Chain A
C-alpha cells in the first residue's frame, strides 16, 4: 500500500527556515539578473563607446532612482554570488549538517549586504 506523505501548504502559515529563505532569494535574484541583462549590457556599451556616452552615463547614474535600481541589482548579484559559493561548499561537503546549513545561510545574507554597502558607498 502506498501511503501519501502529509502535505501542509498553507503559505501564510509556513515559516521558511533560513536556508530556505536564501534558496528562494538565490532563485529570485537569478531571475532578476537575467531580466536585467539588456540593461547591464547597454550600460557596458555606453561606458566603453565614447567619452560622450561615458559622461552621459555618469549624469544618468547621478539620479537617485537609477542608483536605487543599480544598488538593488548589485545586491542581487552579490547575493547570487555568495549563495552560489555556499552551494559549491555544500557540494564539496565543507558545509554539512543542520547547524552549519543555518549558520552559512546567515553568512550569505551578512556578506552580500555588507559588500553591497561597501561597493555602494565607494561607487557613490
Chain B
C-alpha cells in the first residue's frame, strides 16, 4: 500500500491547463494576423489602421495580449523556480514580473483604444 502525502498549493494542474488554453487562443489569433499579412503583403498605414479600427479586432487583440501575459507569467515563474533558489531574490523577481505584466495590460488598452 502506498501512503502518499500530497502537499503543496495545488495550483499545478490549473496552471498546466491555463497554459494550454491561452496557447490555443494565441495560435488562432496568430493565424488570423499571419493570414492577413500574407493576403496584404504591401499594406500601408491606412489598411493597417483600418484593420485595428473595429471594436471586434481590438477586443480579440486585447484577448490575445491578455492570454499572452498570463501565459508568460506561468512560463517565467517556472523558469525562475528552476534556476533561482534564494527566496528573497525569487520574490523580488516575481513582484517585478507581475508589475511589468500589469503595466503591459494598461499599455495594451492605451495602444488599441487610444489610436
Contacts and interface: CB of A to CB of B under 8 A. Distances in A.
Interface of A: 27, 30-31, 33-34, 37-38, 41, 44-45, 47-49, 51, 54-55, 81, 84-85, 88, 91, 119, 122-123
Contacts of B72: 30, 33-34, 37
A85 B110 CA distance: 31
20 contacts: A27-B79, A31-B79, A33-B72, A41-B108, A44-B111, A45-B107, A45-B110, A45-B111, A48-B49, A48-B111, A51-B45, A55-B45, A81-B27, A81-B30, A84-B23, A85-B27, A88-B20, A88-B23, A122-B41, A123-B37
Contacts of B115: 48-49
Given A48-B48, A85-B27, A122-B38, A34 B104 contact: no
Given A41-B107, A81-B27, A81-B30, A47 B76 contact: no
A37 B104 contact: yes
Contacts, number: 51
Interface residues of B, number: 25
Interface of B: 20, 23-24, 26-27, 30, 34, 37-38, 41, 45, 48-49, 52, 72, 75-76, 79, 100, 104, 107-108, 110-111, 115
